[in-house]
């Protein structure tokens, strides 16, 4: 594999893309470091694919600039054609050429090399993905997962400085997806390709991305490492993406809300405004209640309404003193956690999140 001397930095500078009245990308700025893997995460229609197509040069922005290694590839006065950008693409509906052998499919993008060099490079990458013995066969004999490997090999063998991947694992079953994700990440690291991966799945984004960029309605809501997004989500919308949460509405008084776990700050909320308290299902715990049914040693008194065994955890609906609706709580505690039992509910106020309810607009 030929390794480029300089990995590419990709910069989106106030990028806009409109289709008529519809703003698919709306003033988005993002700076991707050389060799970094960034996952674009967000609901359907938020502009993820459009951003990739803009980076690839398949679409032209209606505003802003895109730079690859400080060279403007799209902007008001300039547009570099896709084939001159050094980008590799792997889209969900990757199509292998049915009339070409697997080796020819992989060698397809290696036009700059001699036939023999291209063949050798294609064989090397096929070996890397464990498919060298299929080189002279045609794509139809391969399974879906094997075809996907060939598509990955084909995309990466020309050594693109930038890899753009749109839902590359969506067609695979869970086991194959795990294996392909690992393999892809290893290949991308070896190639030192700066990579953007579009996904709908938070877990996939956490697993693959050095950084995750969360989009909504054409804008970036938050970018950061997985832990940052999980622990300090900038909006209710982001909190919902990364963990199962309970949401309880409170009215703000004196910049705070009065909850059963104490008075909590409601930053940025106006007096009298309704805010949402978020408690992660995995951020609380249950213990068997003391002999008198009281929550000795801290915690709130609760009664288990339902308990569902999920293997490594039990998901309970618990009626907790001070809360009107039951809270969903996932616990690994086993003994004494049964439907109808009295429990002690342990909630760490430091783990509670409070967001303006206006953040919850429909998208
Ligand atoms: P998904 O996850 O479903 O693929 P996405 O986040 O990738 O969604 P995009 O495909 O980028 O979203 O679309 C963003 C918005 O732009 C959508 O409202 C879509 O309908 C619109 N859009 C995209 N391409 C076009 C086009 N060629 N013409 C008109 N509207 C378009």
Has residue 236 been placed in a domain? no
Q: What is the pLDDT of residue 323?
A: 96
Q: What is the pLDDT of residue 250?
A: 96
Strand partners, 320: 302
Contact 22 CB / ligand 1 (< 6 Å) = yes
Q: Are residues 198 and 266 in the same domain?
A: no
Contact 196 CB / ligand 1 (< 6 Å) = no
Has residue 3 been placed in a domain? no
Share of the chain above pLDDT 90, in %: 66
- Smallest CA-to-CA distance from 85 within 117, 46, 118, 59 is with 59
For strands 162-166 and 87-91, give the pairing.
parallel
Specify the residue with its C-alpha closest to ligand 1, atom 26: 19
Q: Are residues 263 and 292 in the same domain?
A: no
- Give per-residue pLDDT as tens, 80-120: 999 889 899 888 767 889 999 999 999 988 888 888 999 99
Q: Is the pLDDT of residue 222 over 70?
A: yes
| Confidence category of residue 281, pLDDT binned at 50, 70, 90 | very high
Q: Are residues 202 and 309 in the same domain?
A: no
Q: Is the pLDDT of residue 295 over 60?
A: no
What CATH number does residue 46 fall under?
Answer: 3.40.50.300
Tokens of 119: 């063949």
> What distance in angstroms lies between residue 207's CA and the mean position of ligand 1's atoms?
25
Contact 23 CB / ligand 1 (< 6 Å) = no
DSSP helix/strand/coil, 139: helix
Q: Which residues have C-beta within 8 Å of that of residue 344, sequence separation ≥ 6?
A: 286, 287, 288, 289, 290, 295, 296, 297, 298, 299, 300, 301, 302
Contact 48 CB / ligand 1 (< 6 Å) = yes
Q: Are residues 217 and 273 in the same domain?
A: no
Give me the chain's average pLDDT, please: 89
DSSP helix/strand/coil, 186: helix
Tell me what the mean pLDDT of segment 157-162 comes to. Answer: 90
Has residue 214 been placed in a domain? yes
- Give per-residue pLDDT as tens, 191-221: 889 999 999 999 999 999 999 999 999 999 9
Has residue 293 been placed in a domain? yes
Has residue 239 been placed in a domain? no
> What distance in angstroms lies between residue 49's CA and the mean position of ligand 1's atoms?
7
Specify the residue with its C-alpha closest to ligand 1, atom 16: 24
Q: What is the pLDDT of residue 2?
A: 42
Total domain count for the chain?
Answer: 3
Q: Sheet containing 219-224: which strands, arranged edge to edge?
A: 87-91, 162-166, 194-199, 37-41, 211-216, 219-224
Q: Is the pLDDT of residue 13 over 50?
A: yes
Q: What is the pLDDT of residue 335?
A: 62
**In sequence order, what DSSP letters do the residues of 252-285 get, joined into one string?**
-BTTEEEETTEEEE-TTPPTT-EEEEEEEGGGEE
Q: Are residues 154 and 108 in the same domain?
A: yes
What CATH number does residue 339 fall under?
Answer: 2.40.50.140
Q: What is the pLDDT of residue 363?
A: 37
> What distance in angstroms lies between residue 218's CA and the mean position of ligand 1's atoms?
10
Tell me what the mean pLDDT of segment 307-315 comes to. Answer: 87
Q: Are residues 69 and 186 in the same domain?
A: yes
Tokens of 73: 């590839």
Q: Are residues 357 and 339 in the same domain?
A: no
End residue of a domain, out of 202, 231, 260:
231
Q: Are residues 336 and 201 in the same domain?
A: no
Q: Is the pLDDT of residue 60 over 80?
A: yes
Instruction: Tell me how far apart the alpha carbons of residues 204 and 349 are, in angstroms, rounded to a whole number.
Output: 29
Has residue 176 been placed in a domain? yes
Tokens of 357: 């309810």
Contact 49 CB / ligand 1 (< 6 Å) = yes
138 and 104 Cβ atoms separated by less than 8 Å: no
Q: Are residues 105 and 162 in the same domain?
A: yes
End residue of a domain, out of 231, 257, 292:
231
Q: What is the pLDDT of residue 293?
A: 47
Q: Are residues 69 and 189 in the same domain?
A: yes
Q: Are residues 286 and 274 in the same domain?
A: no
Tokens of 308: 């569902």
- Give per-residue pLDDT as tens, 326-345: 999 998 866 668 899 999 99
End residue of a domain, out of 231, 266, 300:
231
For strands 256-259 and 284-288, give the pairing.
unpaired
Tokens of 113: 């090399």
Q: For a substitution probing ligand 1, which of 46, 168, 196 has the most ligand atoms within 8 Å of its CB?
A: 46
> What distance in angstroms lies between residue 361's CA and the mean position of ligand 1's atoms?
20
Q: What is the pLDDT of residue 353?
A: 94
Has residue 4 been placed in a domain? no
Q: What is the pLDDT of residue 113?
A: 85
Has residue 186 been placed in a domain? yes
Q: What is the pLDDT of residue 291?
A: 53
Q: Are residues 179 and 79 in the same domain?
A: yes
Alpha helix ranges (H) inside the chain? 48-56, 102-107, 115-128, 144-156, 174-191, 202-208, 226-231, 236-242
Q: Residue 274: give the domain boundaries.
A: 244-278+352-361
302 and 260 Cβ atoms separated by less than 8 Å: no
Q: What is the pLDDT of residue 334?
A: 67
Q: What is the pLDDT of residue 77?
A: 84
Buried b (16+ CB within 10 A) or exposed e, 128-163: bbebeebbeebbeebeebbbbbbbbbbbbbbbbbbb
């Amino acid at each position: 594999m030929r390794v480029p001397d300089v990995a590419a930095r990709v910069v989106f500078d106030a990028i806009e893309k409109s289709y008529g009245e519809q703003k698919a990308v709306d003033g988005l700025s993002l700076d991707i470091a050389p060799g970094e893997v960034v996952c674009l995460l967000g609901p359907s229609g938020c502009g993820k694919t459009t951003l990739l197509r803009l980076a690839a040069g398949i679409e032209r922005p209606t505003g802003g600039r895109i730079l690859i290694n400080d060279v403007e590839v799209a902007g008001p006065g300039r547009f570099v054609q896709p084939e001159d950008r050094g980008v590799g693409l792997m889209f969900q509906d990757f199509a292998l050429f049915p009339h070409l052998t697997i080796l020819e499919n992989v060698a397809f993008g290696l036009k700059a090399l001699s036939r023999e060099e291209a063949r050798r490079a294609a064989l090397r990458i096929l070996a890397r993905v464990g498919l060298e013995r299929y080189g002279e066969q045609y794509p139809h004999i391969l399974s879906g997962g094997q075809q996907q490997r060939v598509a990955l090999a084909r995309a990466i063998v020309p050594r693109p400085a930038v890899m753009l991947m749109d839902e590359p694992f969506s067609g695979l079953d869970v086991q194959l997806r795990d294996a392909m994700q690992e393999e892809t990440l290893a290949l991308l690291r070896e190639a030192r390709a700066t990579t953007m991966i579009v996904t709908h799945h938070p877990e996939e984004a956490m697993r693959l991305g050095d950084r995750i960029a969360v989009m909504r309605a054409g804008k970036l809501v938050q970018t950061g490492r997985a832990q940052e997004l999980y622990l300090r989500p900038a909006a209710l919308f982001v909190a919902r993406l990364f963990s199962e949460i309970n949401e309880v509405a409170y009215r703000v008084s004196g910049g705070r809300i009065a909850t059963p776990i104490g008075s909590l700050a409601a930053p940025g909320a106006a007096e009298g405004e309704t805010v949402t308290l978020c408690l992660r299902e995995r951020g609380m715990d249950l213990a068997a209640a003391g002999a008198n049914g009281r929550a000795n040693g801290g915690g709130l008194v609760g009664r288990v309404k339902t308990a569902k065994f999920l293997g490594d955890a039990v998901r309970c609906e618990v009626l907790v003193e001070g809360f009107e609706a039951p809270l969903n709580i996932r616990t690994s505690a086993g003994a004494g956690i049964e439907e109808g039992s009295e429990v002690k509910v342990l909630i760490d106020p430091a783990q509670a999140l409070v967001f303006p309810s206006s953040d919850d607009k429909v998208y």
